[in-house]
Structures are given as structure tokens and as C-alpha cells.
């Protein structure tokens, strides 16, 4: 599975980035080829999905048994590779941190992405939950049925939310950071919870920009504990990778995975796969995430052959996902990588 955190790793926008060379990736699915001497509960040939502390984008992956889970019989390998990061993150934020209950309201950014779609599906398992979502306008038609109120990612969503819900919302899930931190806190109802689980606003170009990094943090509202006390608001952070690989909470995550697989088996949730890519196409796949062009999860498929490049293509896809005509007089051959839905 490809995640936005992989872009941040590539650019060094994380604490203590690993030394190169490295193989990226934190989740995968496949067939068990070998077992450690003391491993119980799995057999060679089992279909499994797993968390990996890097090295997931490979043909052969080794990871401790506590990070491995059996795949349900009717779940495909591509769905399984799209499942762990998105759904565990969404579930733990909603139910372990924010204590989502009947009648509550949730604001989630990047509602068309993998976590956003997982949040929307999990909210639908609780009665009478209102979901506010922001997403690029070209995604609205595809995801409009998954959220209650959908806003353009560039619109003034604070005013839009307050127009519908004067008191604001109970839960804000923020993967953007920057100025959205202050906006999210301002929207919280008393006893509401704001959770930061990413900082994608820091990724603005092909390479790490210290200006963008500094600007994003400069826009973060300084949190005053006394103000939180007076307003009865909760601010939290969530990092699944740190929880698994630095804080040794794999047992807690396993319990969450058991609940999620029960929801999947009862057909209440289902991972949304945007597209499949060959390993050789990882550059183009990451560009699609960078441009926020995906709806759901992008998957690297080790058995997929690369899609042939297309020359003399008359159109390119813009960041908004709309096709733009070439400018007159531009006679260079255009090459782009089509994606498979």
C-alpha cells in the first residue's frame, strides 16, 4: 500500500528519516513463504496482510509475527494491502481516542483519500453520526454518498460547517496541519476532540522545502492549556507507526484488527482501491498521491506488468483532475502513465 507518509519519508519531512538506500512502505499483503522457529498460528501458504517497519515495497518481506494478520477468504490481495493503515488509523482515532457515539458529528479532511473513506465507512456503523468532509471538487461526485456534508478543499469550510451546525462538531480529524489546526479547534463543541494525524501541508513540491515546512508550523495556532480548560476542549495526536514500532502496542492494534475484520466479514466496511501500479511505476503512483488525485488507496502490485507509455498524448491531467489541452505550438511528445481503476 502507498500512503502519504511515504511521500514525507521520501522528502525527509519526518523525525529521524532513515539513511538511504532503503526500501519504503509500511503495509503489504501476500502469501507466507517461511516461518520462524517459534511462530504459531500461521502456516506456509496462508494469505496474510502485515505492517512492516519499512521494506514493504518488495517482492519478499520479513516482519515479526505480531504485525501479521490472516486475510478473510473473500478479501482480495489488493483490498488487503489497502486495509491495515487506513482502517486501523480511522478506527483508533474515532473509537479509542475520540470515543465516537451515537448522534455525534465528525469533520474529516481529505475525505476522498484512504483514511477519509475509512472514517466515513466506520461512522456509518454508528447511528445518526453526521460527517463533514473536505475534498477536491472533482472527487465530489464519486464520494458524495459517503459523507453527509461535502465541501471543496479550498472553500471556507469553517463558515460552511457553522452554517449547518452552529455549535460546531464533536470530532475533528486533521491530516493537513498548518492553519487548519486553529480552524479545527475553533469548530470544536465543548468536550470535543481535535486529533492531528498528519501534516500533508508540508509536502508542496518534489523536494523538501524548508520554507513550506516553516510556513506550515508558523501557521499552527499556539495551544494554550488554560484556554483548553476554559473551553472544555481536547487536543490529541495519533501516529499508528509510532504506536506499533516505537511504543510496542501491537497487542492493542491486534484487538482493533479483530474488530475491523468482523466489520468487514459482516459487509459493513470495505477498503476502496483507487488503482493498481507495477513496482516500476512507483514514481507515477506517488505523483498521483502528491497531486491528491486518488480516491481511496493506491496499490503496488508485484505481479503487474508496467502499463506502456503513451506518446503524442494530446492531454495532461491537472491537479484538479481535469484534462487540459496542450498550449498551441508545444510540439514536444507528451508521455503519461495511465492508471487502472
* Model confidence pLDDT, tens digit, residues 225-250: 888 889 999 999 999 999 999 999 99
93-115: average pLDDT? 95
Q: Is residue 315 part of a domain?
A: no
Parent domain of 109: 4-210+218-300
pLDDT-derived band at 334, boundaries 50, 70, 90: very low
Q: Is residue 324 part of a domain?
A: no
Q: Is residue 322 part of a domain?
A: no
Q: Is residue 331 part of a domain?
A: no
Q: Is residue 281 part of a domain?
A: yes
pLDDT-derived band at 340, boundaries 50, 70, 90: very low
Prediction pTM value: 0.85
Residue 113 is placed in which grid cell?
A: 483519500
Task: State the SS3 of 31-68.
Answer: ECCCCCCCCCCCCCCCEEEEECCCCCCCCCCCCCHHHE
Q: Is residue 271 part of a domain?
A: yes
* Model confidence pLDDT, tens digit, residues 289-331: 888 888 999 999 998 888 876 443 333 333 333 333 333 334 4
Q: Is residue 145 part of a domain?
A: yes
The number of distinct structural domains making up the chain is 1
* Model confidence pLDDT, tens digit, residues 208-219: 454 454 555 545
d(CA 231, CA 124) in angstroms, rounded, equals 29
* Model confidence pLDDT, tens digit, residues 45-81: 999 999 999 999 999 999 999 999 999 999 999 999 9
* Model confidence pLDDT, tens digit, residues 149-190: 999 988 899 999 999 999 999 999 998 877 788 898 999 999
Q: Is residue 171 part of a domain?
A: yes
Task: Mark 229-264 as b/e (b = at least 16 C-beta within 10 Å).
Answer: eeeebbbeebbbbebbbeeebbeebeebbeebbebb
Supply the mean pLDDT for the chain. Answer: 84
Question: CATH code at 281?
Answer: 3.40.50.720
Amino acid at each position: 500500500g502507498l500512503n502519504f507518509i511515504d511521500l514525507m519519508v521520501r522528502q525527509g519531512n519526518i523525525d529521524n528519516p532513515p539513511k538511504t538506500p532503503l526500501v519504503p512502505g509500511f503495509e503489504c499483503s501476500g502469501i507466507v513463504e517461511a516461518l520462524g522457529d517459534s511462530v504459531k498460528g500461521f502456516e506456509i501458504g496462508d494469505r496474510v496482510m502485515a505492517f512492516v517497519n519499512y521494506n514493504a515495497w518488495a517482492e519478499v518481506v520479513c516482519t515479526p509475527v505480531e504485525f501479521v494478520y490472516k486475510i478473510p477468504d473473500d478479501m482480495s490481495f489488493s483490498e488487503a494491502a489497502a486495509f491495515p493503515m487506513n482502517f486501523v488509523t480511522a478506527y483508533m482515532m474515532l473509537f479509542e481516542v475520540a470515543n465516537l457515539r451515537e448522534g455525534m458529528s465528525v469533520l474529516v479532511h481529505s475525505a476522498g483519500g484512504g483514511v477519509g473513506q475509512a472514517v466515513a465507512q466506520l461512522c456509518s456503523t454508528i447511528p445518526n453520526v453526521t460527517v463533514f468532509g473536505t475534498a477536491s471538487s472533482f472527487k465530489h461526485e464519486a464520494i458524495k454518498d459517503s459523507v453527509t456534508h461535502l465541501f471543496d478543499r479550498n472553500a471556507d469550510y469553517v463558515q460552511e460547517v457553522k452554517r449547518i451546525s452552529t455549535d460546531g462538531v464533536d470530532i475533528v480529524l486533521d491530516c493537513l496541519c498548518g492553519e487548519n489546526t486553529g480552524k479545527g479547534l475553533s469548530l470544536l463543541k465543548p468536550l470535543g476532540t481535535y486529533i492531528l494525524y498528519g501534516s500533508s501541508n508540508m509536502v508542496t513540491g518534489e523536494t523538501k522545502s524548508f520554507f513550506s515546512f516553516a510556513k506550515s508550523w508558523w501557521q499552527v495556532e499556539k495551544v494554550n492549556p488554560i484556554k483548553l480548560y476554559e473551553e472544555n476542549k481536547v487536543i490529541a495526536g495519533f501516529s499508528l507507526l509510532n504506536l506499533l514500532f516505537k511504543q510496542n502496542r501491537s497487542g492493542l492494534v491486534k484487538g482493533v484488527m479483530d474488530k475491523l475484520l468482523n466489520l468487514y466479514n459482516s459487509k459493513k466496511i470495505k477498503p476502496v482501491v483507487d488503482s493498481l501500479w507495477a513496482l516500476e511505476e512507483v514514481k507515477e503512483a506517488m505523483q498521483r498521491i502528491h497531486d491528491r488525485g486518488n480516491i481511496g488507496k493506491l496499490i503496488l502490485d508485484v505481479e503487474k506488468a508496467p502499463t506502456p507509455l503513451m506518446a503524442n498524448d494530446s492531454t495532461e491531467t491537472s491537479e484538479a483532475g481535469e484534462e487540459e489541452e496542450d498550449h498551441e505550438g508545444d510540439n514536444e511528445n507528451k508521455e503519461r502513465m495511465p492508471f487502472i481503476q
